[in-house]
Amino acid sequence: MVAFKVMHYLKRKTKGKQRYMVVKIDMSKAYDCVEWSYLKTVMRCMGFADCSINLLLECVSTVRYSVVHGVHMMGPIVPSRGIRQGDPLSTYLFIICAEGFSTLIKRYESRCLLRGCRVARGAPSVTHMLFADDSYFFCQAYPDAAARVITLLRTFEKASGQQVNLDKSLISFSTNTDVGTHADMCSILNMSAATDNSMYLGLPSTIGRNKTSILGFLKNKIKSRISSWDGKLLSWAGKEVLRKSVVQSLPFYAMSVFLLLVKTCTEIERLMAQFWWKTTSNKSRGIVWMNWDHMASHKNQGGLGFRRLLDFNLAMLAKQGWRFSPAEFTKLVIFQEFFVKSAYCLLQDQRDERTGHNNSGFWVKLWQLKIPPKVKNLLWRALSGCLPTSFMLRTKNVDVPTTCPVCQENTETIMHALVTCPFANACLNKVLAAASLVSAATFGSWLGTIFCSLNEEIINNVTVLCWALWKSRNNKVWNNKLSFVSHVVTSASTCFDQWKKAQCSSSLSSLNFASSSDGVEHWTKPKTNTIKVNVDAAMFEEDGIYGFGIVARDDTGRLIRSKSSCSSGAPLVEIAEAIGVKETLSWIKINGWQEAILETDSMVTVQAIRSSTSMSSVFGLLIQDCQALLSSLINVKLFFVKRSANRVAH
């Protein structure tokens, strides 16, 4: 902020005899060129004890590098200077190095060899602002001052080992400096003059009246980041994470320094809204189901908690003002400490008081459910009227038939698609008997009744089943495939069981994840006198057949036996994988192999076999058969492996 204030002063300085220049210094390979002897001398001058100096230099001087080229390794390379980039300690060591440069500048100023810039009468003189390899140097724009700057820089280069990058270094001048002086200073310093759109620490170095064009880089940066995700398949929950953790945080640094225009904030929020509602990369925008103001409400009030940029901008600037407050004692005793988040929440509470929004226990209950984020997001869209059922699409002038694509009878509202449709009702009855028959006009009132009348476990199962019902409905709409009731219930149960196991690190470690040094999992030999069997299923939908392949190898990797089989039909993928595992276990038993390891790349099948949950479906019956066979084969173990380690069977 000090740098921007000084630059603003110089831009507005149109009168006066004193002419100033700002030298933006860029250091070449700043970390790599630091001399260890210089670092040691500066630390000793700052009062570091010899034992501390030796300890810090040990951290720097014991570094060894090796270069890998193909299969050959060259090295070790033993450096004689420099500090490592990325090391947390290096940042502090570089600050110590900069202290030497700062002391040298102050010495020149104390001897009246250089004069800094004062933005007002009585203000302190500003000679330099150092930030890593990108620093500002303020002085008067005269030939003798420029010559002293050269002497100062060469003295620092000789002592520290660093070198100024003249090609990247720039000079800015106060407005009252004539063009001839511009040319003279650039010639003496051998640097270029800065343009109006030059940047400092990622922000424009000067701000004029036209803030829309100057701060337009924020909009371009966000647009570029969003465009980089066009080719990726993102779920609604994934979009929410990227929206909050990446896109939303991009303008925060600028907002902590500048007050953005309402127009700029609106344009950025429009880009974020387009990213949220867009469903495919070839569309500029999707169907907007809800206005941005509602989406930016707190989650406890029916929104998604997206930040309103203008309010957050004010909160961040208020923190800067808080830091300038002279009443330190009063601040600490009465108000404790200022937080940007608390200020933003205060602004939102005031907004809610004006709009009449109140916290809802229903929304709190929803967001506290221990279910997958994608399920919570689906429920939020259903409760907010953002689910693209046939009826809701007609309200957005989309020409589609309003009848339900599953039952082909009633109008497909959100309540019908997830609850009252005969197919949905049959699925819900598998989980909670009479509870699905609760009379309610809307999906929100039905879910509210479920929340109040059932325990947490059943509520979780019901909500995940709603997600499976919507997935099944979409499969019918887009692929013209209607699932069975047992398949939908099994899919919901399996998905929820997988998610719960993924939250537990111990369950993941038992799945036998093993990667090589190149980051790809490969097939590994079993221990002595043990046979490793790999199995994988394949679907051939165009031909209406499916099959599986089995390969058995010994502890040397030599092929022992193999088997493959094909059958007509188009079962679900998990059913085909379960059939393959069942047939493989039976094949191992027939061959009489006592010590064997069975590997498959179907995590669903492995987790289902290890689970004690019983499922009344085709998949569940296959799992029971696998469990019975596995229990009869005492020394046979089942593991999950990645596809890369199961290619021989695939």
pLDDT value at 537 more than 80: yes
Whole-angstrom distance, CA of residue 283 vs CA of residue 6: 45
Average of per-residue pLDDT across 88-117: 89
**Where are the domains positioned within the chain?**
1-204, 211-353, 365-506, 531-645
Average of per-residue pLDDT across 511-540: 78
Average of per-residue pLDDT across 543-547: 87
Evaluate whether 457 touches 425 at the Cβ level (below 8 Å): no
| Spatial CA neighbour of 509 closest among 639, 634, 647 | 639
Q: How confident is the model at residue 355 (pLDDT cuts 50, 70, 90)?
A: low
Q: Name which of 77-86, 346-355, 512-521 the model is least confident about.
A: 512-521
Q: Which two tokens stand for residue 396?
A: 């957005």
pLDDT on residue 638: 93
Q: How confident is the model at residue 233 (pLDDT cuts 50, 70, 90)?
A: confident
DSSP 591-616: HT-SSEEEEES-HHHHHHHH------
pLDDT on residue 127: 86
Q: Name which of 22-31, 99-108, 577-586 the model is least confident about.
A: 22-31
Whole-angstrom distance, CA of residue 4 vs CA of residue 19: 18
CB within 8 A of 206, min separation 6: which ones?
4, 7, 8, 11, 172, 196, 198
What angle (nearest 5°) sits at the alpha carbon of residue 642, between those of residues 641 and 645? 80
Whole-angstrom distance, CA of residue 116 vs CA of residue 151: 17
- Entry field: residues in the chain: 650
CATH of region 531-645, choose from 3.90.1150.10, 3.30.110.40, 3.40.50.2000, 3.30.420.10: 3.30.420.10
pLDDT on residue 581: 94
Evaluate whether 126 touches 138 at the Cβ level (below 8 Å): yes
- Strands 636-640 and 596-600 come out as parallel
Q: Which two tokens stand for residue 266?
A: 């609106």
pLDDT value at 322 more than 70: no
Average of per-residue pLDDT across 320-328: 61
**pLDDT, tens digit, 9 for 90 and up, residues 22-37:** 888 888 888 888 899 9
Whole-angstrom distance, CA of residue 412 vs CA of residue 211: 49
Q: How confident is the model at residue 330 (pLDDT cuts 50, 70, 90)?
A: very low
pLDDT value at 250 more than 70: yes
pLDDT on residue 472: 93
Identity (one letter) of the amino acid at 56? L
pLDDT on residue 294: 84
Percent of the chain with pLDDT over 90: 29
**pLDDT, tens digit, 9 for 90 and up, residues 455-490:** 898 999 999 999 999 999 999 998 888 888 888 988
The DSSP code for 484 is: P
Alpha-carbon dihedral 571, 575, 577, 582, rounded to 10 degrees: -120
Q: Which two tokens stand for residue 308?
A: 């309103």
| Spatial CA neighbour of 602 closest among 622, 617, 631 | 622
Query: Who wins on pLDDT, 184 or 501?
Result: 184
Q: Name which of 295-304, 404-413, 528-537 the model is least confident about.
A: 295-304
Give 171's strand partners. 23, 193
CB within 8 A of 116, min separation 6: which ones?
109, 125, 126, 127, 128, 138, 139
| Backbone conformation region of residue 574, classed left if phi is above 0, alpha if psi is from -120 to 50, else beta | alpha
Average of per-residue pLDDT across 240-246: 87
| Spatial CA neighbour of 454 closest among 425, 434, 439, 440 | 434
Query: Who wins on pLDDT, 347 or 96?
Result: 96
pLDDT on residue 433: 64
Residue 639: exposure state from Cβ atoms within 10 A (0-12, 13-18, ≥19): middle
pLDDT value at 607 more than 90: no
